[in-house]
Copies of this chain bind each other. A is one copy, B any other.
Amino acid sequence: MKVIFYAAMLAAATLMTTQPVSAQADRKLLSMEDIVLNRELTPKSYPVQWVGASDSYSAIDGAELVAFDARTGKRRSLITIDKLNSLLSTNFKTFPAYGFNDEGMLIVAAHGMRNIIDLKIGKIVASHKVPVGANLTRQSGDGGVYAYTRENNLYCFDGTRERAITSFEDKNIVCGQSVSRNEFGISGGIFFSPDASKIAFYQKDESNVTEFPLFDITTRTGSTNNVKYPMNGMASEHVSLGVYDMATEKTIYLKVTDFDDERYLTNISWSPDSKRIYIQVLDRAQHNVHLNSYDANTGEMLKQILTEHNEKWVEPQHPLVFLKSDPSKFIYSTDNRDGYWNLYLCDDNGVIKRLTATDASVQYLAQDDKNVYYTSAEVSPVETHLFKVDIASGRMTRLTKAEGVHSVSVSKSGRYFLDSYSSLDVPRVVELGRCDGKPARELFRAENPTTAYNYAKIEMGTVKSACGKFDNYYRLIKPLDFDPSKKYPVILYVYGGPHSQMVTNSFLGQLRRWEMYMAQRGYVVFVMDNRGTSNRGAEFEKAINRQCGQAEMADQMEGMKWLMSHEWVDRDRIGVHGWSYGGFMTISLITNYPDVFKVGVAGGPVIDWKWYEVMYGERYMDNTQNNPEGFAKTSLINKAKDLKGKLLICQGVLDDVVVWEHSLSFVRECIKNNVQVDFFPYPRAPHNVQGKDAVHLYTKITNYFEDYL
């Protein structure tokens, strides 16, 4: 089997590499604690933010919060920490988290209150209590009203008293919380109208959703915590959208009738006048979107504005954004029209025009009267840059110049932007950029936090996808003191699932420190994004449709072929490690290519998509009834008998994302086939093992490779 891979040198482009560091005895190696817990290894940041709607930005300068005028650079004091402590009766030693409202007033939480401080007069002008026991709080734009959930119901505090917006005794009815397991861009369940007169909220009925038992060892006799888990092909939650009127204290529900009761109500958007609500309604099968508007007073549907259809899937992810300059128009995001995420200018009659004409993932960021600001991957799939597009002319201008991944915040005026970026060799730079294209001003440049450590060289490059159409980006770390005449064992780290990008032109190429730890111990470490991952357009991303893992494996094996074409690779010592989707990929690879991979460590792996959740899983895999071939081909239950190498599976016992029916069923299948496999549970960990437990985990993973690879 293995011979096929090193018959010929395969072409791959190396794009860039970190500056070579000559190995020095006085430089440290990473410890396991460094990998997991050492924050000093993250480049320092310089947190700045716009002071309300002004062109001044704030920064913390020791014991003082200061602001700088973007035009003149003039520094002024906003408030000292002593003054803040005196105002709030607090004892902050360092400046706490803070924000500004549009008027530039400072917002700081203390003693369970949310305080608004008018910096001009140096006084607290408002102080709102965060109700005890409340969570998932949201506040109206002016901060006067809070909405929050307690258990399964939704409440609001109107400044005077608490009101129960819902009062369901049945715990299967859950109000004000996120729905659809946070897919489709959903991250909360409370939506204030712009004028704060109404609160829209998600309500889900989980009566038909089965429960999964999570085993709790901390109770005296052992017990289970049962969580609702809608499983592939089975009954799912029913979602509706309530609208509570602060004045009448009444709730109406939007009359959504599209598709059936298991539809998804995604990307809730209020019209600027607070009269209408827009929903991107998606069918459970995730092939059709209806963008509808509804009357927020009556709940009646007003109009179906546009629809999307896709035989693979369509996945709405962004709410509408209304133009400041013309509230009858809005910006709509989709990747279903031109093969990439783009912005479309629409009104209630549908699409007016495509606003961004870019074959790269576009994401709306901000707007002023004339321009829309967006980021995209058009400079490179591994970089993020800021652009603006003139709404009227469609003229697009690139605003960030330096290579790398930029994170930006545009001032309300549209004149300036704050830009924090990094690239392979640049730890972090914060700049004040100018939207007129004039040169930016550097505000901060971080030291390289790793200079005390003996880091090996990191290379970034591309390998062609198995279909030949795409360049897949990799990150390659060669061992310390790399000698091309020697042979080194390899560890492939893999994630590979949708909505991910492991390799970008950010500091150290987005290195996970464990990779460097292994490189310091003599391993070649290789990481590559395959088809199905994000930022690369619909064809690339949807190549996995109905057979998760197949295109991904084909691409990863192209990467391995290229890697194994090098004489310095010990082809008898290749390992693979990944978590979650990467755990699925790890076991897929070691069972489908048993002669290539000698050792694998899989964490929280999907074993059969029939045990995964409805929202994410059905998008890619449909269900077992409609796609039996796809499920059969991708199920690792069917592959357990093919396992030849050493495989360790780790899983959090409290994993409510990939429930441990997956891994235990795989273990069971191995036992049935008399195939040896290893397993390790993290009894108090959810889907991801974090903090101190992760030190234990990465020690275990490392030991496993050291023992068996």
How far is A611 from B671 in the complex, measured between Cα atoms in Å? 28
A677-697 vs B, CB cutoff 8 Å, 1 = contact: the mask equals: 011111110000000110110
- Chain-B contact segment, one of A15-23, A133-141, A212-220, A489-497: A212-220
B676 lies within 8 A of A703 (CB)? yes
Is A248 interfacial (CB-CB < 8 Å)?
A: no
A237 to chain B, nearest CB (A): 15
A206-227 vs B, CB cutoff 8 Å, 1 = contact: the mask equals: 0000111101010011111000
How far is A674 from B672 in the complex, measured between Cα atoms in Å? 33
Is A661 interfacial (CB-CB < 8 Å)?
A: yes
Is A699 interfacial (CB-CB < 8 Å)?
A: yes
How far is A215 from B672 in the complex, measured between Cα atoms in Å? 18
Is A229 interfacial (CB-CB < 8 Å)?
A: yes
A637 to chain B, nearest CB (A): 11
A667 surroundings in chain B (CB, below 8 A):
680-681, 683
Residues of chain A at interface, number, CB under 8 A: 43
Known: A213-B222, A681-B681; 8 extra A-B contacts, CB below 8 A, are A217-B661, A222-B611, A664-B683, A667-B681, A668-B683, A671-B693, A672-B692, A679-B679
Known contacts A664-B681, A680-B678, A684-B668; is-contact A221 B210 (Cβ 8 Å): yes
A668 lies within 8 A of B231 (CB)? no
A223 surroundings in chain B (CB, below 8 A):
213
30 residue pairs A–B, Cβ–Cβ below 8 Å: A210-B221, A211-B221, A212-B222, A213-B215, A213-B222, A215-B664, A217-B661, A217-B664, A220-B231, A220-B234, A221-B229, A221-B234, A221-B611, A222-B659, A224-B224, A665-B683, A667-B680, A667-B681, A668-B684, A671-B683, A671-B693, A671-B696, A672-B692, A674-B692, A674-B695, A676-B699, A676-B700, A679-B679, A679-B681, A681-B681
How far is A674 from B689 in the complex, measured between Cα atoms in Å? 13
A682 lies within 8 A of B671 (CB)? yes
How far is A88 from B667 in the complex, measured between Cα atoms in Å? 46
A224 surroundings in chain B (CB, below 8 A):
213, 224
A661 surroundings in chain B (CB, below 8 A):
217, 221-222
Name which residue of chain B comes closest to A653, CB basis. Answer: B664
A231 surroundings in chain B (CB, below 8 A):
220-221
**A contact set with B: CB distance below 8 Å:** 210-213, 215, 217, 220-224, 229, 231, 234, 611, 653, 659-661, 664-665, 667-668, 670-672, 674, 676, 678-684, 692-693, 695-696, 699-700, 703, 707
A210 surroundings in chain B (CB, below 8 A):
220-221
B215 lies within 8 A of A215 (CB)? yes
A624 to chain B, nearest CB (A): 11
How far is A665 from B674 in the complex, measured between Cα atoms in Å? 28
How far is A229 from B231 in the complex, measured between Cα atoms in Å? 31
A693 surroundings in chain B (CB, below 8 A):
671
B212 lies within 8 A of A221 (CB)? yes
A319 to chain B, nearest CB (A): 33
Name which residue of chain B comes closest to A659, CB basis. Answer: B222
How far is A15 from B203 in the complex, measured between Cα atoms in Å? 78
A222 surroundings in chain B (CB, below 8 A):
212-213, 611, 659-661
A220 surroundings in chain B (CB, below 8 A):
210, 231, 234
A692 surroundings in chain B (CB, below 8 A):
672, 674
How far is A191 from B683 in the complex, measured between Cα atoms in Å? 45
A215 to chain B, nearest CB (A): 6
A679 to chain B, nearest CB (A): 6
How far is A700 from B700 in the complex, measured between Cα atoms in Å? 18
How far is A231 from B680 in the complex, measured between Cα atoms in Å? 26
Known contacts A222-B659, A224-B224, A661-B222; is-contact A217 B696 (Cβ 8 Å): no
How far is A445 from B395 in the complex, measured between Cα atoms in Å? 102
A57 to chain B, nearest CB (A): 43
B217 lies within 8 A of A665 (CB)? yes
Top-6 shortest CB links A-B: A222-B661, A668-B683, A210-B221, A664-B683, A671-B696, A213-B224
A653 surroundings in chain B (CB, below 8 A):
664
A575 to chain B, nearest CB (A): 16
Name which residue of chain B comes closest to A33, CB basis. Answer: B674
A674 surroundings in chain B (CB, below 8 A):
692, 695-696, 699
Looking at A659, A660, A668, the one whose CB has the most chain B CB atoms below 10 A away is A668
A212 surroundings in chain B (CB, below 8 A):
221-222
How far is A692 from B671 in the complex, measured between Cα atoms in Å? 8
A670 to chain B, nearest CB (A): 8
Name which residue of chain B comes closest to A229, CB basis. Answer: B221
How far is A674 from B229 in the complex, measured between Cα atoms in Å? 32
A668 surroundings in chain B (CB, below 8 A):
217, 683-684
A372 to chain B, nearest CB (A): 45
How far is A659 from B216 in the complex, measured between Cα atoms in Å? 13
A670 surroundings in chain B (CB, below 8 A):
696
A659 surroundings in chain B (CB, below 8 A):
222
How far is A293 from B52 in the complex, measured between Cα atoms in Å? 90
A256 to chain B, nearest CB (A): 28
A683 surroundings in chain B (CB, below 8 A):
664-665, 667-668, 671
How far is A211 from B220 in the complex, measured between Cα atoms in Å? 11
A678 lies within 8 A of B681 (CB)? no
A500 to chain B, nearest CB (A): 26
How far is A229 from B222 in the complex, measured between Cα atoms in Å? 10
B682 lies within 8 A of A680 (CB)? no
Name which residue of chain B comes closest to A221, CB basis. Answer: B210
Looking at A611, A664, A679, A684, the one whose CB has the most chain B CB atoms below 10 A away is A664
A618 to chain B, nearest CB (A): 15
A234 surroundings in chain B (CB, below 8 A):
220-221
A696 to chain B, nearest CB (A): 5
Name which residue of chain B comes closest to A677, CB basis. Answer: B680
How far is A682 from B667 in the complex, measured between Cα atoms in Å? 8
How far is A660 from B683 in the complex, measured between Cα atoms in Å? 11
How far is A402 from B265 in the complex, measured between Cα atoms in Å? 84
How far is A665 from B664 in the complex, measured between Cα atoms in Å? 18
A664 surroundings in chain B (CB, below 8 A):
215, 217, 653, 681, 683
How far is A670 from B684 in the complex, measured between Cα atoms in Å? 12
